[in-house]
Amino acid sequence: MKIGFIGLGNMGAPMAANLAKAGHEVTGFDLAPYDVDGVAKAGSAAAAAAGREAVLTMLPNGEILASVMAEIAPAAMKGAVLIDCSTVDVAAARAAHETAAAAGLLSVDAPVSGGVGGASGGTLTFMCGGSDEAFAAAQPLFEIMGQKTVHCGGAGAGQSAKICNNMILGATMIVTCEAFALADKLGLSRQAMFDVVSTSSGYSWSMNAYCPAPGIGPQSPSDNDYKPGFAASLMLKDLNLSQQAAEAAGAATPIGAHAARLYAAMVEEGGGGKDFSAMLPRLETMKRD
């Protein structure tokens, strides 16, 4: 396929490279300088989209997505599928679908889980919203870039699933860090706590696969001075999106709201560039209210 890819940052670049490696003809565009193996450079987003059968976007927020959609929708080939892999608010995702439909294009909102490692390794999970026809058109590309794809429903359903998932992740990581901090003060070794919890009812991805305590469990950012696999600032973004959606839907999410406040404080204190599991060293210095 002839593919356009707009947004070639830490996530978009390896995703585009994997598509090129699989034999697709990929043309990219980003405002920042970039060099991606196998990806030709276009002078604008519209140029990257023109004449392409599929156009993917990986952008920072809904406002930028709206701007890019307004540029690429008129330039894209009729019947092309636009695949937005950004994490944005549900309203922005639905607006992007409307822009695509008005231009005679198929569209899928397809945010991802798996981080930079998943993007590089082609092991991402895609959570997708859009019509059956659009999803079917995009599916072969998802199979190259990821290991699991779920069609969650209509327009915006992918973003809905992503923010619900990451609200769970943010809250679970906080309580996992709290448990380690408490174990320290109770004189319980971190290894003993991991050995018990990782095989008991406290089991979670945050504990078992991404342990926030250095030297415990599988290799994780905590073993590399909390250099980010998923930065705290990005977790705050997703938690804020979850609370924005909860407010619009009238949903009670008290734990999600508190998680957002804790990550906001971490970011305000200069920890936004650390991995989100660096909540543990932060909690170690906090006193009980």
**Helix (H), strand (E) at residue 26:** strand 25-29
Beta-bridge mates of residue 108: 83
Rounded to an integer, the average pLDDT of 22-33 is: 96
Q: What's the first-to-final CA gap in the chain, in angstroms?
A: 58
- Per-residue pLDDT tens digits for 44-54: 999 999 999 99
Q: Is the pLDDT of residue 289 over 80?
A: no
Residue 287 confidence (pLDDT): 87
- Other C-beta atoms closer than 10 Å to the C-beta of 164 total 18
Residue 57 confidence (pLDDT): 98
Look-up: residue for tokens 């290894």? Answer: 191
Residue 115 confidence (pLDDT): 85
Q: Is the pLDDT of residue 12 over 90?
A: yes
Residue 13 confidence (pLDDT): 97
Q: How many percent of the chain have pLDDT more than 90?
A: 96
Question: Average pLDDT, whole number, for the chain?
Answer: 96
Rounded to an integer, the average pLDDT of 115-139 is: 96
In 53-106, alpha helices (H): 62-72, 90-102
Read off the amino acid at residue 110.
A
**d(C-alpha 130, C-alpha 254), whole Å:** 30
Contacts of 263 (CB under 8 A, 6+ apart): 170, 232, 235, 236, 239, 276, 279
Q: Which of 2, 162, 185, 287 is catalytic?
A: 162
Domains of the chain: 2-154 (3.40.50.720), 160-285 (1.10.1040.10)
Contacts of 237 (CB under 8 A, 6+ apart): 61, 87
Does residue 185 carry a catalytic annotation?
no
- Per-residue pLDDT tens digits for 70-123: 999 999 999 999 999 999 999 999 999 999 999 999 999 999 998 888 999 999
